[in-house]
């Protein structure tokens, strides 16, 4: 039966949270090369050459060109203050950013070694982010856990109110998230020809939340309907 005369059914709205674990299987290295020189053109050309060496090293280490991306370019002047509050340009700094994606996590240490050798003192490593290349299964598990959490809370609230959970009226699901900031590398010198920097996958936590609206049925009506059904059955017998 539908609701009439603008009457809205009683509902309970609950937001549930859920998590699932996934093992990262890819790494994204974010880096830059930076070169200083007296002349702007020299700084620019030096940064371009250093970036090309890093790119060539990444490709030689087995990365496909599609997983090597330029992420930024900057050229700035270096200024000092002289007597009399006078600025003087004493040089130029050029830098360019790169993002390298290693689809096989086990190859990341060798990749780091290669780019450190190629970039030399011009290299700046900004961070290493571990990723799950196919998080669909973990996303689904996190959403299921979030729905179960919401249903459990809604059932408890309904019981406290002397009601029963009815049909689901609405579901709003947020996009599952895979949190985790890049792991900073303190110094590029940590990866040297003598010793590779270890990269451990660990586990990533996928989080999801869902907001579900349930209709609240009257417990007394349910018991009454159950009693009527039993009386009808007795009369039929």
pTM above 0.75, yes or no: no
pLDDT, residue 142, reads: 93
Q: What is the pLDDT of residue 179?
A: 52
Tens place of pLDDT per residue across the chain (237 aa): 333 344 456 999 999 999 998 888 888 999 999 999 999 999 999 999 999 999 999 999 999 999 999 988 999 998 888 877 788 888 999 999 999 999 988 889 899 999 999 999 999 999 888 888 888 888 999 999 999 999 999 999 999 999 999 999 999 998 777 655 445 544 433 344 445 666 666 677 889 999 999 999 987 554 444 444 444 445 444
Q: How many CB atoms lie within 10 A of CB 133?
A: 12
Q: What is the pLDDT of residue 220?
A: 58
- What is the model's pLDDT at position 143? 94
Instruction: Give residue 8's pLDDT.
Output: 52
Q: What is the DSSP string of the chain?
A: ----TT----EEEEEEEEEEEE---EEEEEEEEEEEESSHHHHHHHHHHHHHHHHHHHHHTT--GGGEEEEEEEEEEEEEEETTTEEEEEEEEEEEEEEEEESSGGGHHHHHHHHHHHHGGGEEEEEEEEE-S--HHHHHHHHHHHHHHHHHHHHHHHHHTTEEEEEEEEEEEPPPB-----B--S-GGGSBTTBPPP-----EEEEEEEEEEEEEEEHHHHHHHHHHHHHHHHHH-
**How many C-beta neighbours within 10 Å does residue 8 have?**
7
Beta-carbon contacts of residue 36 (< 8 Å; ≥ 6 apart):
43, 78, 91, 92, 93
Phi, psi values for residue 98, rounded to 5°? -135, 145
* pLDDT given at position 236: 47
Helix (H, G, I), strand (E, B) or coil at 167: strand
Q: What's residue 192's pLDDT? A: 43
pLDDT at position 80: 86
């Amino acid at each position: 039966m539908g609701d009439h005369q603008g009457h809205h059914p009683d509902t309970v709205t609950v937001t549930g949270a859920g998590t699932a674990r996934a093992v990262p299987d890819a790494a994204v290295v974010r880096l830059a090369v930076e070169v200083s020189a007296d002349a702007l053109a020299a700084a620019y050309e030096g940064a371009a050459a250093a970036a090309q060496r890093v790119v060539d090293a990444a490709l030689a280490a087995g990365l496909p060109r599609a997983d090597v991306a330029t992420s930024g370019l900057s050229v700035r002047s270096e200024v000092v203050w002289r007597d009399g509050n006078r600025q003087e340009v004493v040089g130029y700094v050029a830098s360019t950013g790169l993002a390298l994606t290693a689809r096989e996590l086990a190859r990341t240490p060798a990749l780091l070694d290669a780019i450190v050798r190629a970039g030399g003192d011009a290299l700046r490593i900004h961070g290493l982010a571990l990723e799950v290349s196919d998080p669909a299964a973990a996303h689904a598990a996190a959403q299921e856990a979030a729905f179960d959490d919401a249903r459990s809370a809604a059932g408890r609230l309904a019981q406290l109110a002397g009601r029963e959970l009815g049909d689901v009226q609405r579901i709003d699901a947020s996009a599952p998230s895979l949190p985790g900031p890049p792991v900073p590398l303190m110094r590029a010198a940590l990866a040297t020809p003598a010793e590779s920097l270890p990269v451990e996958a660990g586990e990533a936590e996928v989080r999801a939340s869902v907001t579900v609206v349930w209709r609240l049925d009257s417990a007394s009506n349910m018991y009454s309907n159950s009693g009527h059904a039993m009386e009808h059955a007795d009369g039929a017998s």
